[in-house]
Amino acid sequence: MRPCSAARLGVRFPRSLCPASGTPSFHQINLAYPGLEMVRSQPDIFLVHDFFSATQCERLIRKAQQGDAMVPAGVFSPQGLKRSESRTSSQCLCPQREVPSLLHKVVELLGCPSRHLEACQIIRYEAGQFFAPHGDFSSNGTRSSAGFVDCARLATLFVYLNDVERGGETDFPNAAPPLRVTPSRGLAVVHFPASLDYVSDARRTRHQSLPAVDEKWIFATWMWSGPRSQNLELLRQLGRGYSHVWPESYDPLSTDVALRLLEMLLSRFRLQPDLYSFNLALAACREQWTVVLSLLTQWRQGLLVSKLRPDVVSFNTALAAVSSSGAPGDWTCAIDLLETMREDRVPPDLQSYSRALDACSGARRWEEALGLVQDLLQQKLLPDLQTVTGVASVCSHAGEWQLALAFANEQRDQRLLPDGLLFGTLLLACEKGLNWELALELLADMERSSVPLDPISSALAIRACATRNSWDLALWVLAKCSAGGDPGPRALLAAVDAVEAGGSASPELFEELCRRAAQSSLFS
């Protein structure tokens, strides 16, 4: 770390003016944070390069790009959103519980409990958008719409999520000398809008985001002097429609509640406070993924028990709870949990990857899932049948159908016996790759391996063969699938599609197929 002001190197000042110099004291962040660099003093401004990794930054951007998450900056009123004139960017919330490993970094750097942090935001500036000069101070005595009562904002942290070549610098014109920070991916900036006695330092810390030329993304949060209120009714009143006060945007259990819950679970099941029992207690809450996550997060931070640390079973319980929740953001959370495991030196195992893959597949985040597959392959873990099927499915959906087939072949060389589900997934890969020849080979392979064609793999086989663009092959496969009786409505509908797309079949044949499909649907 570079040299810094006496106030920061020396004693921690009480919440009053420093008697010697008359300068107010500010919140003290963790000066031992790796890579911390003090670039200005009075007002103090810190940077941390690579605070978030490239993949974390990219993931946050992709998360924000999902659906219509981004909302223009503005003020809510009974008439709706009134756009802000001083800030023209858009933002979305990034709930704390969906990014436990990032939150951990923020808490470590700022040296504060997560309950002192305002809901994290992901902010985008498109060409021409800006944030006019302002201070981040939010005053004492007020009831902030962010859910803090009688508190002040003491620290601001933002992290640039992408490299920006032109425009979008953060400008601190009153710093001595003035400072202009060029956004670069993963770079964190920390400054202090108010002193510990709640006096605004808006003049010295005045800053702006210069108009963007290239697109700019940041992640931002603000640290307050006290914890966010836990009074739900009050939060809803204060929030006036802003979602950033909703409990869903935060870690849902306070430490007190988490401790009480844990004690209750341990006594209910007559368990000792050891690792095994803690894991059983977590598993007992698995239907409530936010509870599991909250317990795990607090356990990791040493708030629930000092000596025991979560192990791979604990993390896998959380991953299973998250991936079976189907909640929005579950995939972000699952990938984040894997990162947390690595940070805590708890290497993810096959089950960890499998659950995270489930979460990404469920959310149709194929690119992220493919990234996990690549990690998994590097770990040289010997996958089981379920994981191989999951991987093949991800590869097919992510457009890497050759990889799906090659990977499954490799695993067969390791004596893995495929079942109908894996064959079905590989047939899907053939369909995606428009490779009907390979689909026929797989069908022959299924026969040799005595794996019966179930209704789903029958439909997939027909669809894969229909990519030849002539219906005769699809009908030949249909006949094969019908050998054991009704092939099921999906297979018949796939054949109807193939015949319709192929064009030249007789109307009688087409009608006959439609009739069979309707009948099969009726009885299935």
Which single residue is written with the structure tokens 């920070």?
181
Q: Taking the complex as a whole, how short is the minimal distance between the CB of residue 136 and Fe ion, in angstroms? A: 4
Q: Taking the complex as a whole, how short is the minimal distance between the CB of residue 189 and ligand AKG, in angstroms? A: 8
Question: Would you say 145 or 396 has its CB closer to ligand AKG?
Answer: 145
Name the amino acid, one letter, at 270. R
Count of residues touching ligand AKG (by CB under 6 A): 8
Which single residue is written with the structure tokens 């990162």?
339
Name the amino acid, one letter, at 326. G
Question: Would you say 120 or 304 has its CB closer to ligand AKG?
Answer: 120
Q: Taking the complex as a whole, how short is the minimal distance between the CB of residue 318 and ligand AKG, in angstroms? A: 31
Which residues share a beta bridge with 122? 92, 219
Question: Would you say 206 or 463 has its CB closer to ligand AKG?
Answer: 206
Q: Is 158 in the site for ligand AKG (CB under 6 A)?
A: yes
Question: Would you say 187 or 357 has its CB closer to ligand AKG?
Answer: 187
The residues of the shown chain that bind Fe ion, judged by CB under 5 A, are: 136
DSSP 173: T
Q: Taking the complex as a whole, how short is the minimal distance between the CB of residue 69 and ligand AKG, in angstroms? A: 17
CA–CA distance, 376 with 380 (Å, rounded to integer): 7
Q: Taking the complex as a whole, how short is the minimal distance between the CB of residue 373 and ligand AKG, in angstroms? A: 35
Q: Is 224 in the site for ligand AKG (CB under 6 A)?
A: no
Q: Which does 104 bind (CB under 5 to 8 A by kind): ligand AKG, Fe ion, none?
A: none
Selected from 96, 129, 144, 209, the binder of ligand AKG by CB under 6 A is 209
Q: Which does 190 bind (CB under 5 to 8 A by kind): Fe ion, ligand AKG, none?
A: none
The interface with ligand AKG within residues 282-341 (CB under 6 A) comprises none
Q: H helices then E strands: how many in the chain?
A: 20, 14
Query: Is the distance from CB of 311 to CB of 275 less than 8 angstroms?
Result: yes
Closest to 46 in 3D by CA, of 61, 35, 62: 35
Question: Would you say 84 or 288 has its CB closer to ligand AKG?
Answer: 84
Structure tokens at 434: 């428009």
Q: Is 170 in the site for ligand AKG (CB under 6 A)?
A: yes
DSSP string, 351-413: HHHHHHHHHHHHTT-HHHHHHHHHHHHHTT----HHHHHHHHHHHHHTT-HHHHHHHHHHHHH
For the chain, give the longest Cα–Cα distance. Answer: 99
Q: Is 131 in the site for ligand AKG (CB under 6 A)?
A: yes
CA–CA distance, 323 with 361 (Å, rounded to integer): 9
Question: Would you say 98 or 136 has its CB closer to Fe ion?
Answer: 136
Question: Would you say 131 or 407 has its CB closer to ligand AKG?
Answer: 131
Cα distances from 332 to residues 64, 146, 183, 266, 375, in angstroms, run 11, 23, 24, 30, 16
Q: Count CA atoms closer than 13 A to 105's CA, side-chain side.
A: 27
Query: Is the distance from CB of 52 to CB of 161 less than 8 angstroms?
Result: yes
CA–CA distance, 79 with 377 (Å, rounded to integer): 53
Q: Which does 195 bind (CB under 5 to 8 A by kind): ligand AKG, Fe ion, none?
A: none
Question: Would you say 223 or 477 has its CB closer to ligand AKG?
Answer: 223
Q: Taking the complex as a whole, how short is the minimal distance between the CB of residue 35 and ligand AKG, in angstroms? A: 20
Structure tokens at 465: 């063969």
Query: Is the distance from CB of 357 to CB of 373 less than 8 angstroms?
Result: yes
CA–CA distance, 385 with 442 (Å, rounded to integer): 17
Question: Would you say 212 or 235 has its CB closer to ligand AKG?
Answer: 212
Structure tokens at 100: 């436990």
Q: Closest residue to Fe ion, Cβ-based?
A: 136
Beta carbons within 8 Å of 216's beta carbon, 6+ residues apart: 124, 125, 160, 162, 164, 167, 168, 183, 209
Q: Which does 158 bind (CB under 5 to 8 A by kind): Fe ion, ligand AKG, none?
A: ligand AKG
Q: Is 138 in the site for ligand AKG (CB under 6 A)?
A: no
DSSP three-state, residue 129: coil
Question: Would you say 110 or 491 has its CB closer to Fe ion?
Answer: 110
Any idea what the Cα angle at residue 224 is, between residues 220 and 228, rounded to 5°? 100
Which residues share a beta bridge with 40? 45
Q: Is 120 in the site for ligand AKG (CB under 6 A)?
A: no
Q: Is 103 in the site for ligand AKG (CB under 6 A)?
A: no
Q: Taking the complex as a whole, how short is the minimal distance between the CB of residue 360 and ligand AKG, in angstroms? A: 29
Q: Is 46 in the site for ligand AKG (CB under 6 A)?
A: no
Q: Which does 45 bind (CB under 5 to 8 A by kind): ligand AKG, Fe ion, none?
A: none
Q: Is 136 in the site for ligand AKG (CB under 6 A)?
A: yes
Q: Is 118 in the site for ligand AKG (CB under 6 A)?
A: no
Q: Which does 299 bind (CB under 5 to 8 A by kind): ligand AKG, Fe ion, none?
A: none
CA–CA distance, 48 with 188 (Å, rounded to integer): 5
Q: Is 471 in the site for ligand AKG (CB under 6 A)?
A: no
Question: Would you say 217 or 366 has its CB closer to ligand AKG?
Answer: 217
DSSP three-state, residue 209: strand
Question: Would you say 170 or 354 has its CB closer to ligand AKG?
Answer: 170
Q: Count CA atoms closer than 13 A to 85's CA, side-chain side.
A: 0
Q: Is 207 in the site for ligand AKG (CB under 6 A)?
A: yes
Selected from 175, 220, 341, 459, the binder of ligand AKG by CB under 6 A is 220
Query: Is the distance from CB of 425 to CB of 396 less than 8 angstroms?
Result: yes
Q: Which does 59 bind (CB under 5 to 8 A by kind): ligand AKG, Fe ion, none?
A: none
| Contact set with ligand AKG (CB under 6 A) | 131, 136, 158, 170, 207, 209, 218, 220
